Homo-oligomer: A and B are copies of this chain.
């Protein structure tokens, strides 16, 4: 019942445990013939090295964590799932194991010492970061920057994303561009908000108070806010929404007011999620390659684990506007 150990293989193949160990972890350090004998014995016994014992002896686990820091949100969020995907792919390719969790769950359980690094996605709280670092765990932030800490952060190019969207709108003849801002993490919210203001100035359409609306992250709230925006005097001819779900709310509002899209109103979303092509009209959106973000996070993590003291502090992932029929 109990699994075969390195001793069993050693005995059966007639070599020492050290050699068996080497045959598996440093194959070229054992002679071809010996190696074969070892593998044969291992196969016969159905042996596989115990990763736990290995971790114990080597004092490292080859294990990383992906922790989603977003109140109420999880792996179900397409954006964070995308990052996770990138992290996972690369982690698996490097023979790292990836455990996932949410910030909430993580706090509850002292599962420390089992991971060598953690990639925190989203609104990472300072105390979590501090706690991890106190445990000698390497930390990388995704889609967030935390001023007080010296660690690598991977974010999307918000400035450029918003600018591309607004330039596109201006070029297609829009002059009264409004923004529908959602209440996201403080970092994203303020970045995108400020990016909007500065991009507007940059394209020569100074934003007015009147053209800004806030809403929650659900579609009903977005629809309501959009209706309100569209009913204002001097209503906008284009709305830039903070993400695609909000943009879907805008589309609903427009339809309710019998506006023609994109003739009467252009709509641009953000994230370029899967819903863009499902909507009618298909939604123009700023494409963020979250998988690449995940991969870059892993690159930074790798550097950290390799002992590089100062990998790039900030990594900015380029974004691109994906134009569809809503604008």
User: Hey, which bits of chain A sit against chain B, CB under 8 A?
Assistant: 1, 3, 46, 48-53, 55-56, 61, 63, 74-76, 78, 81-82, 84-85, 88-89, 92-93, 95, 97-102, 105, 108-114, 134-136, 219, 245, 248, 251-252, 255, 274-275, 277-280
Contact = CB atoms under 8 A, between A and B. Distances in A.
A88 B103 CA distance: 12
A280 B277 contact: no
B100 A88 contact: yes
A85 B76 contact: yes
Nearest to A252: B280
Contact of A51 (B49, B82, B113, B278): B113
Contact of A248 (B81, B92, B98, B278): B278
* Residue from A52, A135, A248, A274 with most neighbouring chain B CB atoms (10 Å): A52
A239 to B, nearest CB: 16
Contacts of A136: 1, 3
A112 B75 contact: no
A102 B89 CA distance: 9
Contacts of A55: 52
A101 to B, nearest CB: 6
Contacts of A3: 113, 135-136
A215 to B, nearest CB: 15
B99 A98 contact: yes
Contacts of A1: 136
A46 B134 contact: yes
29 contacts: A3-B136, A48-B110, A51-B112, A51-B113, A51-B114, A52-B114, A56-B56, A63-B99, A74-B88, A75-B84, A76-B81, A84-B100, A88-B101, A92-B105, A93-B105, A97-B99, A97-B114, A98-B101, A99-B100, A100-B100, A219-B277, A219-B278, A245-B274, A245-B278, A248-B278, A275-B275, A275-B278, A278-B279, A279-B280
Contacts of A279: 278-280
